[in-house]
Amino acid sequence: MWGAFYIYSTPSGEESSYGDQRTTASLRPPEVASNAAQKVDGKQIYTGKCAACHQATGLGIPGVFPPLAGSEWVIGDEKILTSIMLHGVNGEMEVKGTVYKGAMPAWKSLSDADLAAVMSYIRSDWGNKSAEIEPGTVAAQRDATKSRTEPYKGGQELKSGG
């Protein structure tokens, strides 16, 4: 009995360092561990990739970079917002009564989870109160617009369904 236990509980040969390499994450049940890894911080993405133009306040720079706080594009239709993010915009677009004519970069190199997280973030800060966007919505819109190779030419094209 004790002999069997000894053999069972003592790692043999090359496996002897196995116990030291495990982290608490790998000891959690697989489901919990992968959820934790998928939880992307939208605010962190915003700070790193968007705030230089749209500002940490979400107010943009009047006449140059449009605001996201209170923007009809941000709090409105989730598919159109997703299209803006995936392909960018280059042309005239009206935001809160002011016409902008700049260039919003395309972000299709970001993952569905990252895009969903950053969009959910901008829809919920600065007084915005719109529903979260799911990674599945981003995946569907990415597929629906996959033939597009250039930015939208402005607000008109976005509203007409791109």
- Our CB check for ligand HEC shows the closer of 28 and 101 to be 101
With left for phi above 0 and alpha for psi between -120 and 50, is residue 92 left, alpha or beta? Answer: beta
Say if residues 90 and 104 touch (Cβ distance below 8 Å): yes
Please report, as ranges, the residues that interact with ligand HEC according to CB under 6 A: 49-50, 52-54, 65-68, 71, 73-74, 81, 84, 89-91, 93, 95, 100-105, 107, 118, 122, 154
Comparing CA positions, the residue from 139, 107, 142 lying closest to residue 122 is 107
Say if residues 105 and 118 touch (Cβ distance below 8 Å): no
CB of 121: closest distance to ligand HEC in angstroms?
8
CB of 149: closest distance to ligand HEC in angstroms?
17
- Our CB check for ligand HEC shows the closer of 25 and 103 to be 103
- Our CB check for ligand HEC shows the closer of 102 and 135 to be 102
Residues in the chain: 162
CB of 33: closest distance to ligand HEC in angstroms?
28
CB count in 10 Å sphere of residue 110: 18
